[in-house]
Structures are given as structure tokens and as C-alpha cells.
């Protein structure tokens, strides 16, 4: 296993990678190394992004152009977000990694150094790795690292946002120890989202909306450091060992 490397200096927390166990490894997403596999395996799958504001990207050039936009969530200049490449280390070496296959992406988002909090988001597991150990071990590793007060980030809270229509995401959040905090109606607007396969809340559109606009109601889940120590950590360890 490669030695830990520090996160880019723009990220607001002293994160070190890889974060790994015997099944999954999380490393910084490398635009030059991982983009081709990500785009080629998702460009014809709008369902993977149905509950997300953006995606899929039709071409490698379109995806890479996003990274040059200063307001892009995962722009290197954004200190609150960090995008990981997920490597399935139960698979053979590949062009993307010498210890396994590129299986998708996940991120720490909306991270606050002051509040010692972050969110797990933008989880896109590639089709070939869905319904395997990948999603559970990926989210478990991020939770373990977030709350570990010896070698991790020693955070106070981790959040999880998902669409009210994304049943699979909500089930995963609850399975790994998150508690539902509440629901926010009309939380996110997806302009012309109907044309891009976005899933909305099914409610009437607000005034001045385009007929093809889509609005998302969002569920907020959360787990705090004391919940983690009181039982969520042990539950997560059991699930990851299955």
C-alpha cells in the first residue's frame, strides 16, 4: 500500500490519503488519470445522476471543462470539498490503479473547520460495482476517518443529504448509522432538469418556473461524534466485515 499523502493545501482539514481497508481504497481524484474511466462508464447512464444537480457529462472535454470553473464544487480552489476516487482492491490492477479497479467517486463536502463538520456526498458507484461491498465500505471508511481522534479528523458531526425520492440513498444512510433530522421542501432547483432525466418532488412548480424545471425535496441525515462512540462505530465495523 502506498504511503499516506497530504491533501491539497486548499482543503480546510489536514486529510491524508490513502484511506483504506482490505476491500476499498480512497485516493484523491486525479482529473488526468481517472476522468476517462468515469465519463466512459457514466455518460450513457443519466439514472446515476437523477437526484444530483449535474451529470452525466457527454464527453471527457465537457467533464474536464467543469474543473476550470471557479464555482465548481470540486474546484481545487474550493477549501470545503474533497473528491475521492474509489478503488476496489478486490479486483486486479488496472490502468487507473496498480492495486485495483476504479469503481466510482465520493466526496467530503461543505466541510467546516470551525464547526468540525463535513458531509458525505456525490456518491457515484459505477454500474459494475453496484450491489457489492463498494458503497458500504466506502462510506464506512469515510465515517471512520472523520471521527477517529487519533489518526483521523476528529470531527464533531457528519451529514448526509439526499433527495426525498432517492430511497436507496436514504436506506444506506440509516443502515450505516445516520439519523434522519428532517425534510426541506423545494430545497434544490434543477433548471431544465426534465430534459436531463432529473427526478423531482412531483409537486407543482413554483411561479416563474420553466415547464421543464425540476425541484428536489431533500432529506437531511446526521451522525455526531457521541452517537458514533456510543454504538454507530461498532455497528459500522460489523457491517463492513460482512
pLDDT attached to residue 3: 44
3-state secondary structure of 202: coil
Percentage of residues in the chain with pLDDT exceeding 70? 96
Q: Residue range 24-49: average pLDDT?
A: 97
Pairing state between β 19-20 and 24-28? antiparallel
pLDDT attached to residue 71: 86
Parse the chain into domains and list their residue ranges.
13-241
| pLDDT tens, position by position, 103-119 | 999 999 999 999 999 99
What strands lie across the sheet with 179-190, from one edge to the other?
19-20, 24-28, 82-88, 101-112, 117-125, 157-163, 214-224, 179-190
Looking at residue 134, the DSSP 8-state letter turns out to be H
Cα distance between residue 57 and residue 91, in whole Å: 26
Q: Residue range 68-94: average pLDDT?
A: 93
pLDDT attached to residue 20: 98
Q: What is the CATH number of domain 13-241?
A: 3.40.630.30
Amino acid at each position: 500500500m502506498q504511503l499516506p499523502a497530504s491533501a491539497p493545501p486548499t482543503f480546510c482539514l489536514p486529510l491524508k490519503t490513502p484511506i483504506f481497508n482490505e476491500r476499498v481504497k480512497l485516493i484523491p481524484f486525479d482529473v488526468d488519470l481517472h476522468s476517462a474511466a468515469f465519463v466512459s462508464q457514466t455518460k450513457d447512464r443519466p439514472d446515476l445522476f437523477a437526484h444530483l444537480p449535474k451529470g452525466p457529462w457527454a464527453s471527457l472535454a465537457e467533464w474536464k471543462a467543469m474543473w476550470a470553473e471557479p464555482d465548481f464544487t470540486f474546484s481545487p480552489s474550493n477549501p470545503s470539498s474533497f473528491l475521492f476516487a474509489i478503488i476496489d482492491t478486490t479486483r486486479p490492477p488496472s490502468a487507473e490503479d496498480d492495486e485495483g479497479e476504479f469503481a466510482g467517486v465520493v466526496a467530503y463536502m461543505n466541510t467546516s473547520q470551525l464547526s468540525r463538520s463535513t458531509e458525505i456526498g456525490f456518491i457515484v458507484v459505477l454500474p459494475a460495482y453496484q450491489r457489492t461491498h463498494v458503497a458500504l465500505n466506502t462510506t464506512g471508511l469515510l465515517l471512520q476517518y472523520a471521527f477517529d481522534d487519533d489518526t483521523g479528523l476528529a470531527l464533531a458531526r457528519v451529514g448526509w443529504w439526499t433527495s426525498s425520492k432517492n430511497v436507496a440513498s436514504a436506506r444506506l444512510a440509516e443502515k450505516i448509522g445516520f439519523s434522519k433530522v428532517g425534510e426541506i421542501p423545494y430545497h434544490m432547483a434543477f433548471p431544465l432538469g426534465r430534459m436531463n432525466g432529473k427526478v423531482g418532488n412531483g409537486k407543482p412548480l413554483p411561479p416563474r418556473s420553466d415547464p421543464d424545471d425540476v425541484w428536489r425535496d431533500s432529506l437531511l441525515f446526521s451522525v455526531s461524534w457521541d452517537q458514533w462512540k456510543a454504538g454507530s462505530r461498532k455497528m459500522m465495523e460489523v457491517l463492513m466485515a460482512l
